[in-house]
A and B are shown apart, each in its own frame.
Chain A
Amino acid sequence: MSGDTEDTGETLGTRGDIWGHCGDIWGHRAAPAAGMSSDLDVFVGNTTLIDEEVYRLWLDGHSVAEAVARRLRGGVLEREGTSVAVLQSDTRDHYRTFQMLERLLHVPPRLLQQLLFQIPPERQALLVQRYYAFDEALARELLGKKLSKGTKKELDEVSARTGVGIRSCRRQFDNFKRVFKAVEELRGPLAENIQQLFLLPPPLARDYAAIVFFANSRFETGKRRLQFLSFADFAACAQSMMGHWSQGALAPEAAEPDGDLPKSFLQDLKELKVLVTDKDLLDQHKSLVCSALRGKISVYNELEASFKALSRALVNVGGKLTHARDVRDFFVDLVEKVIEPCRSDKWSPGDLRLFLTHYTAAPRNLPGFRHQALWERYMAAITACLLRMYHD
């Protein structure tokens, strides 16, 4: 783990009797093993042995001593009738293997090509998958943050808040950053690129795409009023946004990376402002929607009262997306100006869905509105996001 390499770097200059540290190849990580008789102790199989339990412990960032303690608690001693020394030796072997594998796990296709470790394909897949799996709580914390050194330094707090071990936090952060760097400049669908470069299963690749998308656009997700939204909510939103708005959604061979929303599209969104700036259009839009929904939703009166505010909010969110600073507020705006008013008016999710459907469809019948295609493309993602986010 990257943290470890730094640690070893620190001990570089110190000279001393290696035997003192010997069982303890990760510097401070392993507790001094009292009474260990073996100075050198290795086991190498022609087929690399992977113990899933130990891998889990390693991924969670436990030191050898902690891992041994946890395995002891797991009752392996009783089951196998072995000794603590054996368990320590075994754990160290696995940790060493994982440490050597880590370099390859950073570039999963190399894991498949390398000759050093003979690992059956299904085991390789498991190694990669587990290595790149992440804690949603942590990912939620980091969503929209710049994946920089500064953020990494704040991981201590994140670790405390989420209960994810600091080593694990760092490793996951590094994964995010590595994936981000790798696909930053690539064209085409983000998730597919990630899947190809990191050999991840499609759902995991999609989650990474969401993380990259958020990191790229730097959406604000940390505000208190956004706390009710989970990582899954945001990931779903990111997917809808990329799906509907990105260049890739229109032409697969698009010039710009999927993580960036196409500038021309965002520029065009300004055209939609006419829906709220033109008084006539706004009124007609309202009457079309209201007439369609009369008797169909329970909150009709509330709808009538708040239509203009809602419409303004929905249209302006899009209009602001050209400015990086305003982009950050995208989700804040949606929650503050759409979700919260609806919630206080006790709209049901069904009500919201009906409203959004008709609200999106209505402008087709507005005389003089020529941006129906753009409008529907815009609203498709907004609708998906809102419906996903509309919960307690």
Chain B
Amino acid sequence: MPGKLKVKIVAGRHLPVMDRASDLTDAFVEVKFGNTTFKTDVYPKSLNPQWNSEWFKFEVDDEELQDEPLQITVLDHDTYSANDAIGKVYIDIDPLLYSEAATVISGWFPIYDTIHGIRGEINVVVKVDLFNDLNRFRQSSCGVKFFCTTSIPKCYRAVIIHGFVEELVVNEDPEYQWIDRIRTPRASNEARQRLISLMSGELQRKIGLKVLEMRGNAVVGYLQCFDLEGESGLVVRAIGTACTLDKLSNTSAFLPACNSPSKEMKEIPFNEDPNPNTYSSGPSTPLKNQTYSFSPSKSYSRQSSSSDTDLSLTPKTGMGSGSAGKEGGPFKTLLRQQTQSALEQREFPFFTLTTFPPGFLVHVGGVVSARSVKLLDRIHNPDEPETRDAWWAEIRQEIKSHAKALGCHAVVGYSESTSICEEVCILSASGTAAVLNPRFLQDGTMEGCLEQRLSWQPGFFSIGSEKGEVDFFPQSQDSSSLLGIEEASPPGCGFCHIPYDELNMPFPAHLTYCYNCRKQKVPDVLFTTIDLPVEAIVVGKGCLIQARLCRLKKKAQAEANATSISNLLPFMEYEVHTQLMNKLKLRGMNALFGLRIQITVGENMLMGLASATGVYLAALPTPGGIQIAGKTPNDGTYEQHISHMQKKINDTIAKNKELYEINPPELPEEIIGSPIPEPRQRSRLLRSQSESSDEVTELDLSHGKKDAFVLEIDDTDAMEDVHSLLTDVPPPSGFYSCNTEIMPGINNWTPEIQMFTAVRVSRLSNINPTNQTLNKNFNDLCENLLKSLYFKLRSMVPCCLCHVNFTVALPEDELVQIAVTAVAITYDKNQALQANKAPTEKSQQRASTDNEEQLQFPLELCSDPLSAQPFSPAKEVLEGASSHSGIPAAQRDRCNSWIELIKLKAQTIRRGSIKTTTSLEKASPLAEGYLRHRSVPSCTNSTVSVVKMTPLSFLPGAKITKYLGIINMFFIRETTSLREEGGVSGFLHAFIAEVFAMVRAHVAALGGNAVVSYIMKQCVFMENPNKNQAQCLINVSGDAVIFVRESELEMLPVQPSTAAPQPTSSAGDVTT
């Protein structure tokens, strides 16, 4: 469908001097879109030209709109010779193509030249007029929204999560075309930038089409990568998760008064019986202490039986109390069947998300990964990218089967990557095998969802609810009910329970009964690629754990090379795994989240770098220590040495436990329950549990069985390994680090953030390198890099480095390049201490502070016509609790009315699928206007608006109010005067700063003030010092957003729009 693109060139400033004689410039601008070009007049003799052009109008169809970037070239007019290019600006107009994002792009853009970098700025206004009406427009692929964020974006709710989408396009790399021999480096770079921009657009459009086919409207966790295959071509590929998203009414999303409507909303789908009769028959929902505690187990069990229908699962209710310890075999099977049916239609049941709505993730099996070594050959026909497609399909198939072996039907936290050296390419894919809640996956009609709910409820009510019986924190109970849903698991541990059959385990593992619920089996350690679920119960803090490994490889050609690499891979994987395991134990922790193993291939070596965040999950057993065993027990000095080492290791473990505050409560034998050190809660749990479970004795057997991990030192290599274990230095005091979104154990973030990128290239200069020396060098390189980050950011202490993302490349023989992007976030130390004292509270706080909007959505899922809740007891109660004051009276009133609301809703459900959206306090349009006004930089204003950047999906202390579109930028920078630009460091420093500046400028022009989920996907640096040349390619992406500080929000006038907490049906918003 056609549209009209309108562009206006307003002015330029700080242009470079192009005419040496006059020290001035005669600048004009070419505006190009597709094959149409317009020019402005020449603005003579000025470094700050004011073109103030007319509107240049391009009439184009939507395919072009999606694929093509708007290309703006600033030139210096020269009467006698060819005009000189000053630089270019590429603007991706995609954000203008869906109505919810930006409406205009307007602002100062840096004028970029691939040889000279940024040369002045240009003020541009871009608009898109669509000929067809919006509704029709949104049917086209243009309307599909893209998010880099790997969770459900903050101001949306997921109606359905459809699943995996992937696509790749290939082309010849302009850098390797014959024409490159005769054209200038600038022309070549620009051809490459333009091609990649085009390919990205095309890729995005194709993925969009797939999403529309699946009847989705958005892609979340969109990850696009380039494979620079050199001679054989250029591959642009992308993966993502198709979803149907619904925008939350602007209000509930960001008014503090209702910013965490999450908890009780979550509760609704589960606690509330679809059959309102049961409600009336079971008025047992007692209000304790004026809270709205909803799940006293008994009454619910009764309810569920009364709601009993012929639906498949209800018979389970009968076993309510007794079945708990038996791992709910049938449960699982059924669940599996359901999920299976939901997932089977999909070729690949993969999800690129790493954070999920509560209740989505039922069990986690473990990390699954697959690698394959391929030989690249020239892509003969760019229109037939089948070879690459087949390669990936193969790998994905493998991942799928691995997941199946773990008893899982889905893979979450899924990602793909490549490493290329000459003509060898390693394709890698990894993810976390998981069992998902089918409820979120289906195009559920009302009936279907109800059915599911019905069928699952019994199990939940009979088993799961006891746990949540907490008077103080109603929300914990809420979340428990939430989490417990499909599976009879209490919150915070359900996902740890093994999904596979314990009699038929895919790999040897020590299983014990869950230390939290004591009902189901858990493994002794858990590795995952996802973020720590918010509801997980964690003891102490987390920390960044890395395994680093080098392996020498003979230089070889083609197949021989590929073979030797494939032979090495399993050993590397094994060693990386062992290192991770050892380091995890050394820290006294038992689970890894956000695990990312990167294997990089170079000419003569392979490098492995695994990063993850270690935590102590309360549900898993306490890790045993590390025991060293020598092979020659008779040698006295050797013995002594061993015992010395042993002592050192033990000391380190003890120190780490103290450092990360890992002090899981020692459970007295008779008390078997959650290790939550909340005595009141525990005893309560005990009571309810002993009533409902007869597994007590059996549980005792597993308790106390702490098997130590034995490291056998049989040769010097092993000795080295032990040594290297101990070389990891903990971060200096006041610093924590993790590679996940949030640091387990820290929740009181203050708004100060600092995103940074650090790059190091180092020479591993050994005449006769061995694996050991290389390992040591590599290890030192990483450790030093971390040390230097801590030093640089010392002024932010206390702070946490979050989302620490290492990327390793081997650009040349003996050269190792490490790039790190992370964000440092400050936190309030005093509060932290307080929180540590009460871990329960802490975890709840975290749950409530993090992802309110996200948490909020389950209740609004397809199954659930219920709407956003008008108030947020969770937060207020929390506040109340922390300030040791009671719940405000108003709150109590609300609670009461809330119950009314539930009843009302129950009726609504019965009547039909009318979606009701309620917001007690809507943000006034005024507020929205205010925000908008504040964040849109005026063109004439000279002061530059601040744009925050973060690799996280959120900004501490702020609310994201709007997503403006995806930022996906690719830049090349080249120099032929490397030394004059300050050598390699000066060159790259300037380039990275320029990339940041261009990202910020684009975001500001969209009206945004931050980029979230920012990632530097590629940083390829090449140099030729002898020719004084260097070249660098950087690819970054993220989501442009508008955020508002929570403190500012509070100052906004709060206008209750629909005053009564009545379910008002929002305009025609019917979910189906």
A-side residues, CB < 8 A to B, are 8, 11-12, 15, 17-19, 21-25, 37-49, 80-83, 85-87, 89-90, 92-93, 96-97, 99-100, 109-110, 112-118, 120-121
Contacts and interface: CB of A to CB of B under 8 A. Distances in A.
Contacts of A21: 979, 983
A39 B790 CA distance: 20
B944 A40 contact: no
A168 to B, nearest CB: 21
A81 B756 contact: no
Interface string B517-545: 00000000000000000000000000000
B942 A113 contact: yes
B754 A118 contact: no
Interface in B990-1036: 990, 992-994, 996-997, 1000-1001, 1021, 1023, 1025-1026, 1028
Interface class of chain B by DSSP: mixed
A38 B985 CA distance: 10
20 contacts: A12-B980, A17-B1026, A18-B979, A18-B1025, A19-B763, A38-B761, A42-B985, A44-B756, A44-B992, A44-B993, A45-B756, A46-B756, A82-B791, A86-B784, A90-B791, A92-B985, A96-B982, A100-B990, A110-B14, A115-B118
Interface in B789-823: 789-792, 794, 815, 817
A280 B113 CA distance: 79
B612 interface: no
A43 B756 contact: yes
Contact of B732 (A81, A97, A118): A81
Contact of A15 (B108, B781, B794, B1028): B1028
B997 A41 contact: no
B192 to A, nearest CB: 22
A46 B948 contact: yes
A126 to B, nearest CB: 14
B1009 to A, nearest CB: 12
Contact of B121 (A40, A43, A45, A115): A115
B989 interface: yes
B671 interface: no
Contact of B762 (A12, A38, A42): A38
Given A46-B948, A116-B994, A39 B110 contact: no
A97 B118 CA distance: 16
A278 to B, nearest CB: 56
A96 B792 CA distance: 14
B110 A85 contact: no
B57 to A, nearest CB: 28
A39 B762 contact: yes
A100 B993 contact: yes
Given A46-B755, A112-B944, A41 B732 contact: no
Interface in B305-345: none
Contacts of A17: 1025-1026
Given A83-B787, A113-B13, A25 B992 contact: no
- Pick the most buried of B110, B942, B944: most chain A CB atoms within 10 A of its CB: B944
B978 interface: yes
Contacts of B897: none
A184 B955 CA distance: 49
B759 interface: yes
A65 B824 CA distance: 28
Contacts of B946: 118, 120
Contacts of B762: 37-39
A120 B697 CA distance: 63
Contacts of B979: 8, 11-12, 18, 21
Please list the 7 inter-chain residue pairs (A to B) with the smallest Cβ-Cβ separation, ordered nearest first: A18-B1025, A40-B761, A44-B992, A45-B756, A42-B989, A46-B755, A40-B984
Contacts of A12: 979-980
A12 B817 CA distance: 27
A96 B989 contact: yes
Interface in B756-804: 756-763, 777, 780-781, 784, 787-792, 794
Given A40-B761, A86-B784, A115 B997 contact: yes
Contact of B757 (A39, A44, A80, A109): A44
A121 B944 CA distance: 10
B659 interface: no
B788 to A, nearest CB: 5
A115 B1028 contact: no
A115 B990 CA distance: 12
A128 B30 CA distance: 37
A49 B792 contact: yes
B947 interface: yes
B985 A96 contact: yes
Contacts of A86: 784, 787-788, 791
B74 to A, nearest CB: 15
Contacts of A37: 762-763, 777, 780-781, 784
B118 A42 contact: no
Contact of B942 (A15, A38, A81, A112): A112
B286 interface: no
Contacts of B949: 46
Interface string B961-991: 0000000000000000011101111101110
B806 to A, nearest CB: 14
Given A37-B784, A45-B756, A112-B942, 10 more contacts: A17-B1025, A18-B979, A37-B762, A41-B761, A44-B758, A45-B754, A86-B791, A100-B993, A115-B1001, A117-B997
B947 A118 contact: yes
A19 B1026 CA distance: 10
Contacts of A48: 993
B787 A113 contact: no
Contacts of A99: 982, 986
B943 A112 contact: yes
Contact of B1021 (A15, A25, A40, A46): A40
Nearest to A76: B791
A326 B24 CA distance: 41
Contacts of A46: 754-756, 948-949, 996, 1000
B927 to A, nearest CB: 26
Nearest to A116: B997
A252 to B, nearest CB: 25
Nearest to B817: A40
B989 A93 contact: yes
Contacts of A90: 788, 791-792
Contacts of B118: 115-116
Contacts of B948: 46
Contacts of A47: 754
A112 B1023 CA distance: 33
A389 to B, nearest CB: 43
A109 B1001 CA distance: 19
Contacts of B108: 115
A276 B946 CA distance: 66
Interface string B924-947: 000000000000000000111011
A99 B993 CA distance: 13
B791 A40 contact: no
Contacts of A43: 756-758, 788-789, 792
A112 B754 CA distance: 20
B784 A114 contact: no
A113 B942 CA distance: 6
Contact of B944 (A23, A42, A89, A113): A113
Contacts of B996: 44, 46, 118
Contacts of B1023: 18
Given A39-B762, A115-B121, A117-B993, A25 B13 contact: no
Contacts of A18: 978-979, 983-984, 1023, 1025-1026, 1028
A226 to B, nearest CB: 40
B245 to A, nearest CB: 28
Contact of A22 (B942, B944, B984, B1026): B984
A38 B787 contact: no
A141 to B, nearest CB: 32
Nearest to B757: A44
- Pick the most buried of A23, A87, A113: most chain B CB atoms within 10 A of its CB: A113
